[in-house]
Amino acid sequence: MDLLKIKSPEDIKGLNENELEILCDQLREALIKKLAAHGGHVGPNLGVVEATVALHYVFNAPKDEIVYDVSHQSYVHKMLTGRIGAFIDPARYDEVTGYTSPHESPYDLFEVGHTSTSISLATGLAKARDLQGRTNNVIAFIGDASLGGGMALEALNYAPELGTNFIIVLNDNQRSIAENHGELYDHLAELRNSNGQSENNIFKALGYDYIYVEEGNDLRQLIKAFNKVKDSDHVVVVHINTMKGMGLPVAEAHKENFHFSAPFDVKTGAPLHIDVSEGYDDMFAKRMISLMQENKNVVTMTAGTPGAIGFSEDRRNICGKQFIDVGIAEQDCITMSAGLAKGGATPVVGVVSTFLQRAYDQLSHDIAINDLPVVIVDFYGGVFAMNDVTHLGIFDVAMVSNIPNITMISATNAEEYLAMIDWAVKEANKPIVIRTPTGQMRNSNRKVETDFLRYEVVESGEEVAIIAEGALFHNAAEAAQILKAKGLNPTLINPRILSAVDEACLDSLKDYKHVVTVDNGILNGGFGQKVAGYLAKYGTKVTCLGLKNEFMDRFDVKDVLLKNNLTPEQIADVVLSE
């Protein structure tokens, strides 16, 4: 059919199964074309073309409510719900986000981007439905990797208590981004290998009806299974066995690399834009491998995102038992690290800033109260990192730096970063969070000053000072040059430590005319307000710059800097303002 004619799922309900299969081929073809040209979540979406078509064919969204876990696999859903243009017309590729978004469509119920929330969200929808006496189906669509996350298991446990219609579609593609971890996955294999017949069945143990679909990319089998559970009056799991990357040979063959990919050549899988520069992730991984080889008690840990911290499969293999991936289980990862430290090992957890949010309590209790020497290396913090609303890196400082006993330090360049890692692993002997720089790779133009618990006065001046952290330090350094050109002699400070103020250093500024702080993240709860809170008692004029406390989606970083007075010119102007 003409894909452009699909305005809503109603438009596919009249098709027969043959026609639906042709539709799947068309959708997949269009998807591959866009993914190759534009980049995106390749494997997850290609694996669920048939499942998504079958869902929308059998159920009646938006009356029937479908919640996609993580929602990075919702591209076909978007194609079927009024947004086909954004997948067919290159000029419109950026019209849709990579996740479900209620701002885009009433078929999208939630902004989602972290894993393991779909069952909880769906139980809420189901309970609201029951309170109001409605009768629609509620469906949580969740991948095998997400199911291992603690909150998914909490909800899996609770949902049967609803006692009403509740359908979980378990999209089992036998993968996390990398390989799965945990015994649940052996159990899912047991279920697959027995064609769903194994006596042992965790879902049945928890009170669910259970249906297994061996060919999860076979539209007819899926339609049959979904029809069977439609309007169910109780909880049921439909376990579908799908193939990640289905239909694109390079994605089927290289599942980890094609979980998410930048634009690529469809035949070879080679990236269209080759970037040979070393990133901070590579730098981290190489340094950790060297530290682990030096000391067999050092371990590197991740919760399901080894690639994001530079640990490609070959690097993981080098590390053997010194590399731990617990799967998508940030809470377990952080608390396990506390156990490792207590047991005399030196755990270094590499974590994407936004996912660290899953483990606030574990940071606070298991690491901080116990004051255990865990090193956490925080990636993609600040404004130069990911810009999806569900993956922002601008909240980490406010979250982490106010927990007692945790020392949070932020690097401005490569040499400083590596020195921080070395210091944290070998010397600090307390909980340390290191914020990895983002944005352009920088090298140091000065000797690394390694007393990271004190501010570094990079340029000693008078009357006005700028204290700026992380990647925005460089904007402040440029601002200082602008001020010098105007005849001022500004003091320029790289604070490094964000979890406490350097009182002696700040005392030296108390009679300054103006002190400006620059947070690479939200203003609220950041280091700048700590500086203001300290200096304001002297009546020192302090202006705190940083990001407004708001969720932004797919922003242009230049716009955001401009809007928040964070360009070098603007910082200089703020310093000069009365």
Residue with Cβ nearer a second copy (322 or 410): 322
Rounded distance between C-alpha atoms, residue 57 and residue 227, angstroms: 10
The one among 131, 276, 485, 504 contacting a second copy by CB under 8 A: 131
Closest distance between a second copy and the C-beta of residue 151, in Å?
4
The one among 8, 232, 387, 543 contacting a second copy by CB under 8 A: 543
# chain residues binding a second copy, by CB under 8 A: 119
Written as one string, the DSSP assignment of 459-520 is E--SSEEEEE-GGGHHHHHHHHHHHHHTT---EEEE--B-SS--HHHHHTTTT-SEEEEEEE
Burial (CB count within 10 angstroms: exposed 0-12, middle 13-18, buried 19+), residue 487 = exposed
Residue 155 engages a second copy in binding (rule: CB under 8 A): yes
Closest distance between a second copy and the C-beta of residue 284, in Å?
21
Q: Which residues, numbered 498-517, are part of the site for a second copy (CB under 8 A)?
A: 500
- What is the separation of C-alpha 570 from the centre of its chain, rounded to a whole number of angstroms? 31
HEC readout, 297-313: CEEEEECCCCHHHCCCH
Locate tokens 């291992």: which residue? 148
Greatest alpha-carbon pair distance for the chain in Å reads 81
Closest distance between a second copy and the C-beta of residue 330, in Å?
8
In the sheet that 542-547 helps form, which strands lie side by side, from edge to edge? 456-459, 491-494, 464-468, 514-522, 542-547
SS3 294: helix
Query: What b/e sequence results for 63-87 when a residue is b if at least 16 CB atoms lie within 10 Å of its CB, and e otherwise?
Result: ebbbbbbbbbbbbbbbbbbbbbbbb
The one among 93, 210, 360, 555 contacting a second copy by CB under 8 A: 360
Residue with Cβ nearer a second copy (71 or 412): 71
Locate tokens 């997400």: which residue? 146
Which range in 74-82, 143-151, 247-255, 279-287 contacts a second copy by CB under 8 A?
Answer: 143-151
Binding mask 36-75 for a second copy (x = CB under 8 A): -----------------------------x-x--------
Residue 368 engages a second copy in binding (rule: CB under 8 A): yes
The one among 6, 299, 351, 448 contacting a second copy by CB under 8 A: 299
Closest distance between a second copy and the C-beta of residue 106, in Å?
11
Q: What amino acid is encoded at 255 in this protein?
A: K
Number of other CB atoms surrounding residue 481 within 10 Å: 15
* Closest to 469 (Cα-Cα) out of 386, 411, 415, 385: 411
Residue 161 engages a second copy in binding (rule: CB under 8 A): yes
Rounded distance between C-alpha atoms, residue 317 and residue 308, angstroms: 16
Residue 326 engages a second copy in binding (rule: CB under 8 A): yes
The one among 53, 86, 399, 483 contacting a second copy by CB under 8 A: 399
Does residue 62 have a cis bond before it (omega within 30 degrees)? yes
C-alpha R_g of the chain: 26
Could you tell me which residues come within 8 angstroms of residue 332 by beta carbon, excluding any fewer than 6 positions away? 150, 303, 326
490: tokens are: 């500004």
Which range in 74-82, 220-228, 419-427, 523-531 contacts a second copy by CB under 8 A?
Answer: 523-531
Rounded distance between C-alpha atoms, residue 292 and residue 453, angstroms: 25
Residue with Cβ nearer a second copy (419 or 425): 425
Number of other CB atoms surrounding residue 418 within 10 Å: 18
Closest distance between a second copy and the C-beta of residue 499, in Å?
8
Which range in 56-64, 70-78, 216-224, 356-364 contacts a second copy by CB under 8 A?
Answer: 356-364
Residue with Cβ nearer a second copy (34 or 181): 181
Evaluate whether 206 touches 233 at the Cβ level (below 8 Å): no
* Closest to 370 (Cα-Cα) out of 335, 394, 333: 335
Evaluate whether 547 touches 394 at the Cβ level (below 8 Å): yes
Residue 472 engages a second copy in binding (rule: CB under 8 A): no
β-bridge mates for residue 378, sequence order:
351, 435
The one among 370, 450, 567, 570 contacting a second copy by CB under 8 A: 370
Residue 139 engages a second copy in binding (rule: CB under 8 A): no
Q: What amino acid is encoded at 39 in this protein?
A: G
Closest distance between a second copy and the C-beta of residue 325, in Å?
9
Which range in 32-40, 79-87, 430-438, 526-534 contacts a second copy by CB under 8 A?
Answer: 526-534
Distances 153 to 120, 237, 242, 459, 486 between C-alpha atoms, Å: 9, 13, 21, 53, 61
The one among 45, 71, 74, 123 contacting a second copy by CB under 8 A: 123
Which range in 42-50, 258-266, 390-398, 558-566 contacts a second copy by CB under 8 A?
Answer: 390-398
Residue with Cβ nearer a second copy (101 or 261): 101
* Closest to 356 (Cα-Cα) out of 307, 410, 392: 392
Closest distance between a second copy and the C-beta of residue 500, in Å?
8
Which range in 12-20, 258-266, 275-283, 344-352 contacts a second copy by CB under 8 A?
Answer: 344-352
Residue with Cβ nearer a second copy (158 or 489): 158
Evaluate whether 194 touches 166 at the Cβ level (below 8 Å): no
Residue 383 engages a second copy in binding (rule: CB under 8 A): no
252: tokens are: 């089927």
Residue 398 engages a second copy in binding (rule: CB under 8 A): yes
Closest distance between a second copy and the C-beta of residue 366, in Å?
6
The one among 91, 274, 275, 344 contacting a second copy by CB under 8 A: 344
Which range in 16-24, 27-35, 387-395, 422-430 contacts a second copy by CB under 8 A?
Answer: 387-395
Q: Which residues, numbered 168-207, are part of the site for a second copy (CB under 8 A)?
A: 181-184, 186-187, 190, 199-202, 204-207
Q: Which residues, numbered 80-109, are part of the site for a second copy (CB under 8 A)?
A: 102, 109
Closest distance between a second copy and the C-beta of residue 429, in Å?
15
The one among 13, 342, 510, 554 contacting a second copy by CB under 8 A: 342
Closest distance between a second copy and the C-beta of residue 457, in Å?
21
